[in-house]
Amino acid sequence: MAGLQFLRFCWLQSRRFLGAVSVLGLSVWLGYPINVLNNVIPLLILVLGRADVVHLAGHLKESDHGAYDTVARIGPACALTALTTALAFACIMLTSNAQLFEFEVLGALGTSLAFVVFITTCALLAQVIRPSHYPTPKFANAFASGLTRLSIARPRVLIVAASALLAVSVVGYQQTKAWCPLYQNLP
């Protein structure tokens, strides 16, 4: 049984990775090398894809209307997210920097391509894999509820812990040594 749940999890998570892989394929197809700026685009696509997957899977689990209804109701919001992100990348085209132009093209086309991949695979996988109707694991509920109660009951503890984490992060950042200056990778 655990093997089937793992297989189901892998299939459901594949939607995000297909979008990121499609952006890398698009980069190769367009002949753009992966550089300091455009190497973040696949990660951005993963983040955007995760948000779309959460909304689509959440609606699919809460409603019993199926994949068509989910894509019809949630798909337009995901399309608007992809469209506004693609337009934001397209606005970078106003610069005359060659690497920024490649960044813009890969970002705009990659976001659009990833949206098509996400919606298509969501609709196809929803036909094959039904959402789980099991409740959220007790550990996750207990952990989230505990953090909520702690932050409400003792906000100063939360502020001190967050400040300590920030201080440790700043010290860690200061210890980082650059292999090469960023300006060496720009035209």
Q: How far out from the chain centre does Cα 7 lie?
A: 21
Phi, then psi, of 65 in degrees rounded to 5 = -85, -15
Phi, then psi, of 98 in degrees rounded to 5 = -65, -45
136-144: long-range contacts, CB 8 A cutoff, minimum separation 24: none
Q: Are 64 and 71 in contact (CB under 8 A)?
A: no
Q: How many CA within 13 A on the CB side of residue 109?
A: 18
The Cα 140–Cα 148 span in angstroms is 12
Tens digit of each residue's pLDDT, the chain (187 residues):
444 455 555 555 665 666 667 777 777 788 877 777 777 888 888 787 777 777 877 777 777 777 788 888 888 888 898 899 889 888 887 777 766 888 888 888 888 888 888 888 777 777 777 666 666 667 777 888 888 888 889 889 888 998 999 999 999 888 877 666 666 655 5
Residue burial 30-49, b: 16+ Cβ < 10 Å; e: rest: eebeeeebbeebbebbbebb
Residue burial 113-145, b: 16+ Cβ < 10 Å; e: rest: bbbebbbebbbebbeeeebeeeeeeeeeeeeee
